[in-house]
Chains A and B, each alone.
Chain A
Amino acid sequence: MVDAQPPSGTGPLGKREARLAWRLLAPTISAVALVVILPLLAIFWISVKPVQLSDLRAPEVVLREDLRGSPEAPGDEATLRYRLRNSSQDQPIVNVSIEDVIPEGLEVLLVDERCTLSGRDLRCEFGDWEPGFRETLTFPVTVSQVYFDNDIRPQDSEALVDGRSSNVLTNSTFTLDNFKRIFNGDEFFEVLWITLFYTVFGTIGALLVGLFAALLLNKSFKGQGILRGLYLFPYVSPVIAVAFAWLILFDPFSGSANALLVQMGVTDEAINFFGERPLALIMVTIFEIWRYFPLSFLFILARMQSIDTDMYEAADMDGASPFQQFWALSVPQLLGILSVLFLLRFIWTFNKFDDIFLLTGGNAGTRTLTVNVYEQAFAISNIGAGAAVAVVIFGCLLTFSLFFLKFISREEGL
């Protein structure tokens, strides 16, 4: 007699379910692959290429054609002219050739030696062109009546231009200069330090302020809903709007905050909040706390409202004071969500770009790694160096994420 065993392996139903799952996931996977994975790979590629912002436009052959000599009657002679040039000042184009159809009614008298004319089809080959190379081709022609009847001018038929240019993004030139450049000097360590300060204090500050706000609203009273909505404002409004509001509020010349401080006798002269070291860094960190405390507040409040109230009643009966209840009951219950929030917010703050970019543009000692990407790629126009910084960021994030996943799978059982 054989013992009855549960079926092992995947049955046909299970296979069908798995197939359906992959089908349902396919659109997401392909979209994410296209817009996230591919660019990430591209970043690694670009970071070892000497790419400048101007290299993004590939060099091309610019062609203009016209008929010179203003013929007026059949039999007049004129000159068909092609003017060509290499649009790039620093890159060659190889195997340049053009093809064109000569309009009816123009009889070419003499064909340039680089060109062949069969019927009305003209084909010219030029070989390789240096950067900034210019060329003019002229063909003497006689004009017949058909030309005037048809009224098709030479420039009306689009000429086909061909030529291979080597694009720095796809050729095989590699360099480590980008990395050398960004790791060089004290600048990199300053950027790293600023990023760390901003991230650590921004994260902890937002958590503590959020916790305070959650404690305030963790009781039901009239108007609690309105206050909760109100406290979300900084988080939900467009960053550009609130960043400019802060800039105007703290403007050194005509800002209300300065006027207020001067009037209250705190300071004698206006303070340039977003323009001085190290005040600017502190201000952007405070902005970060201000903007993101609502998120921590929301999550902590949700967790608080799910704590059993019996526990507090029991503690009350035993004579625990409010602070004792907070430390001994609430904090241990909140520890889980607090640590998840800390890790999430840490990574997001580390990634933050818009806020600092809008407030200071990375000046006055506020250039974090993310702002440095923009600075290198667009302000200095060195795309390769920008990509190299991005690779560094990605490396940091990978480290954080591994740590995070290890932790969150314990917390959340994902």
Chain B
Amino acid sequence: MIRHGYVTGPALGGLWLIVLSVTVAVAMSFGTGEAFRPSVMLSLLWGAVAGGVMVALGRSPTVQAGIFIGSMVGLLSGIGPMLVGPDTSGFASVFGAILLSASFVVSLTPILKEVVPGALNRHEFEGAVIRFLTGFGYIFFTAIVLIPFYVMVMTSLKNQSELIQNPLDFSIDLSKGAELFRSYDELFTQFNFGTYLFNSFSISVLTVFITLAFAIPGAYAVARLRFRGRAAFSRSILLIYMVPMIVLALPIYIAFSMTGLRNSFWGIVMIYPVTTIPVALYMLQGYFRGLPGEVEEAGLMDGLSRLAVIWKITLPLSLPALASVSLYVFMIAWNEFLLAFMLLDDPSKFTLTRGIASLNSSEIPRQHLMAGSVIATVPIMALFLGLERFMTKGLTAGSVKG
């Protein structure tokens, strides 16, 4: 029943228009701060009509133009799938209408490309549904990922009164110039964020090196050398990785309080690597196992010692894995919050995450909090977008086989 051109076409058309009108309304509201509102019922109706027309008359440019014009007329006369508030400016409503109509026509055409009048076979029907779901998926994921970050960045560029006046308005007033970055300026000049940035960076880099120094020999031993208890050891690494930090944090807090290591840079540098060694060891041993053993054996035959083999053969061969493990460890150390929060009280020793936590008070404006968040997020994102390939490979290499 549902696999019939005149059912599938209108149904997908209606649902797709709902998706698009919600998307465009949210985007226009965030972009201009003015009132846009999708109407679910009207969207369903208009979309169903458009879908039906497209199935009946084909997808020729004339039909597309007709749907575009019909949609524009509906939108501008106030009975379209997206309604505008009474105070919305004419330019914004026309722009929104064009955006919605154009994106609808352009995207509905490929979605319905195999839907013909009459009964559909499974392939045609499922193909159309999958294309609809794919379109929905791209919009959905991009929206849920981008909106929080967009809000973060835009909030940091505003001032208190602008934020309260219209929480929806995320447009940027470029005429303010450098004044836009006032929160950032204040964070660095009055709130010591330069120091926090430096602390976070040096702690993370030290953590990476210490972790590698421990994990490389360990991973090599687990991956290559035969010894009694190897299987048990390999499992207990995973087990250790499952102990929750909060359970360890309590005794560590007590021990650090009693030995005076709390509030010290070296205390943090001592504790971070231990949280990352097990995972680094696990990832590296997975990679080492995958390396051809013959090369190492050749090295051994030629008189190299084991340690020399590790240094001269294994490590150069596993540079990509080392890069991804370093990146991952760096990320863990950079983002770590719980231990920094519990162990650091002295503002001169804060890491970035601890510094942001200290901004969370009613006396400090929210744009400062968001500016701090941006400062902490941007370096790690830049690193990831640049080295994404390593990350994807490295994270999955250690654990996924075949």
Using CB atoms and an 8 Å cutoff, list the residues of chain A in contact with chain B. 14, 17-18, 20-22, 24-25, 27-28, 31-32, 34-36, 38-40, 42-43, 46, 56-58, 169, 212-213, 215-216, 225, 227-234, 236-242, 244-246, 248-249, 251, 254-256, 258-260, 263-265, 290, 295, 298-299, 302-303, 306, 321-324, 337, 340, 347-348, 350-351, 353-354, 357-358, 370, 373-374, 377, 383, 386-387, 390, 393-394, 397, 400-401, 404-405, 408-409, 412, 414
Contacts and interface: CB of A to CB of B under 8 A. Distances in A.
B147 A216 contact: no
A225 B335 CA distance: 24
A383 to B, nearest CB: 7
Contact of A236 (B213, B235, B380): B380
Contact of A245 (B36, B231, B370): B370
B336 to A, nearest CB: 9
A265 B38 CA distance: 9
Contacts of B168: 256, 259-260, 263
Nearest to B231: A414
A409 B226 contact: no
Given A238-B377, A386-B250, A390-B250, 6 more contacts: A25-B217, A32-B274, A40-B247, A227-B142, A298-B395, A387-B251
A39 B399 CA distance: 28
B402 A248 contact: no
Interface string B242-262: 111111101110110110000
B251 A39 contact: yes
Given A43-B251, A245-B151, A259-B168, A229 B130 contact: no
Interface in B110-141: 122-123, 126-127, 130, 134, 137-138, 141
B356 A240 contact: yes
Contact of A401 (B146, B242, B335): B242
Contacts of A20: 221, 225, 306
A370 B64 CA distance: 57
A56 B251 CA distance: 11
Contact of B151 (A18, A256, A347, A408): A256
Contacts of B208: none
Contacts of A251: 167
20 contacts: A18-B226, A21-B225, A22-B227, A31-B273, A39-B250, A216-B141, A227-B138, A231-B141, A236-B335, A237-B380, A238-B376, A241-B356, A241-B376, A244-B356, A255-B167, A263-B36, A263-B37, A306-B402, A321-B126, A351-B246
B246 A373 contact: yes
A266 B127 CA distance: 33
B320 interface: no
B388 interface: yes
What is the interface of chain B mostly: helix, strand, loop, or mixed? helix
Contact of B250 (A43, A249, A409, A414): A43
Contacts of A39: 247-248, 250-252, 255
A115 B14 CA distance: 97
Contacts of B126: 321-323
B402 A234 contact: no
Interface string B360-396: 1000001001101110110011001100110110011
B141 A213 contact: yes
Interface stretch (B25-33, B65-73, B187-195): B25-33
Closest 9 CB pairs of A and B: A351-B244, A241-B373, A39-B251, A18-B227, A24-B217, A302-B396, A21-B225, A321-B122, A42-B251
B226 A17 contact: yes
Interface of B: 25-26, 29-30, 35-38, 85, 122-123, 126-127, 130, 134, 137-138, 141-142, 144-149, 151-152, 155, 163-164, 166-168, 170, 213-215, 217-218, 220-222, 225-228, 230-231, 233-235, 238-240, 242-248, 250-252, 254-255, 257-258, 271, 273-275, 277-278, 281, 306, 331, 334-335, 337-338, 352-353, 356-357, 360, 366, 369-370, 372-374, 376-377, 380-381, 384-385, 388-389, 391-392, 395-396, 399-402
A52 to B, nearest CB: 12
A254 B164 contact: yes
Nearest to A265: B37
A117 B247 CA distance: 52
Residue among A56, A232, A298 with the highest chain B CB neighbour number at 10 A: A232
B48 to A, nearest CB: 21
A348 to B, nearest CB: 8
Nearest to B30: A256
Given A238-B380, A254-B167, A414-B234, A245 B152 contact: yes
Given A24-B220, A260-B26, A414-B234, A244 B243 contact: no
A46 B249 CA distance: 13
A35 B338 contact: no
B377 A241 contact: yes
Contacts of B255: 39, 42
B247 A245 contact: no
B85 to A, nearest CB: 7
Given A255-B167, A401-B239, A299 B399 contact: yes
Contacts of A236: 331, 335, 380-381, 384, 391
A32 B278 contact: yes
A254 B388 CA distance: 36
Given A27-B214, A240-B373, A228 B234 contact: no
A383 B250 contact: yes
A227 B85 CA distance: 34
B338 A216 contact: no
A390 B278 contact: no
A299 B399 CA distance: 9
Contacts of B353: 238, 240
A136 to B, nearest CB: 30
B274 A216 contact: no
B338 A354 contact: yes
Contacts of A323: 122, 126
Given A169-B254, A299-B400, A321-B126, A248 B151 contact: yes
